[in-house]
Structure 1
């Protein structure tokens, strides 16, 4: 049984369109903003017969917190582009992301949601924050501004060192490669699948990489 945990965007089954739904449970933590609440929801929804936990981006942070708390079974984990910024704080690429995002969140906290979006949209959505799309973008900005960031949770690179761990990245963003490198130094296996940017799970080679990992993980 596989337990799939989505990131900050699509949720539930929709976040894993290329994955087989048989013998799988698709978590949905999108309605809660705090990472501790996400971790608790994931722990509560984990199937008893889970054999591997597969998490993406922000979801990997909630999974790591649940595992650190002993709330998830000690089964193999697959982390897809994990947003585990805490494990690589101090690295230039990591701080170049965290600094502007913290400044953007401070704007939102001061009531300047559009100011937040002016930073967030180019960095995270790959597009400018334009006045013509603000009415459409505002609910999205509100959701992301309310979401707790993936750093500041006290996680280190050894958080999953006691379980077999595969990290899959897409070779498009230095932040995720740095995070993967730190996790690899703590024993994780790292596989790079370029071609789909932040969603290597959508590539044909993803299932082969997971199968190869699971063949030797137990």
Structure 2
């Protein structure tokens, strides 16, 4: 079976830059417009790739528009790398803690206090405390994260993907992503931990072979 590999980026690097290990010849790379909403991103996927079965490789928040798009188009299988599908694990302590901290930080940004926003968000997302001496250098990063899409509140629900063969790959470093992966596994997904690169297990040796084996296990579907 011929598989179209379509790579969807997360909140950082975009397009092919987010997937340096992917074959640029046999792969298709999505690059969402920087100001697009999650719903607009899902619509872009449906319009652009909805005519044939697609294998999505979705990283982080990219898994949210992919999950929404997968309800409206034929999908051969899903590869979700540390998927930020927070809504399927609401109530779990690591997930609620993350949402609470980000919500508090965003409220500071919405009130015009970007420094206070960064003082809350930086330790959560990047480790280490806010350092006033580095503020000028880090301000553009703070500005980006103050307006980036949040990965919850978009209608993603448990068992939305249970009828689609799904491989979930995590790095074994973050309780939130392991919790989300466990929820997906309970709905039938295969979950594999590839430690060593934290939020980017696709950069660890063995990821390509894992995906190839998953593709080989997919049932044949008409194109």
Q: What TM-score do you get using the length of structure 2 for normalisation?
A: 0.91
User: Secondary structure of 2:70's partner?
Assistant: helix
Match of 2:15 in 1: 12
- 1:108 to 2:136 alignment: no
Task: Kindly state the Cα deviation for residue 48 of structure 1 after the two structures are TM-superposed.
Answer: 4.4
Match of 2:160 in 1: 159
Task: Kindly state the Cα deviation for residue 141 of structure 1 after the two structures are TM-superposed.
Answer: 1.4
CA distance in 2 between partners of 1:109 and 1:132 (Å): 23
- 1:214 to 2:220 alignment: no
* Displacement over 4 Å in runs of 4+: 47-50
User: Secondary structure of 1:166's partner?
Assistant: strand
Match of 2:202 in 1: 201
Aligned residues: 216
Match of 1:63 in 2: 66
- 1:185 to 2:186 alignment: yes
User: Secondary structure of 1:160's partner?
Assistant: coil
The answer (yes or no) to whether the contact 2:58–2:81 under 8 Å persists in 1 is yes
Question: What do residues 50-75 of structure 1 show as CA deviations (whole Å, max 9, x unaligned)?
Answer: 5411100010011112223x0x4322
Task: Kindly state the Cα deviation for residue 33 of structure 1 after the two structures are TM-superposed.
Answer: 4.4
The gaps in structure 1 that reach 5 residues or longer are none
* 1:127-138 alignment, distance < 5 Å: 127-138=128-139
CA distance in 2 between partners of 1:91 and 1:214 (Å): 31
The answer (yes or no) to whether the contact 1:29–1:42 under 8 Å persists in 2 is no
Q: What TM-score do you get using the length of structure 1 for normalisation?
A: 0.93
Describe the shift of the 1:144–1:33 C-alpha distance in structure 2 as closer, same or farther (beyond 3 A).
Answer: farther
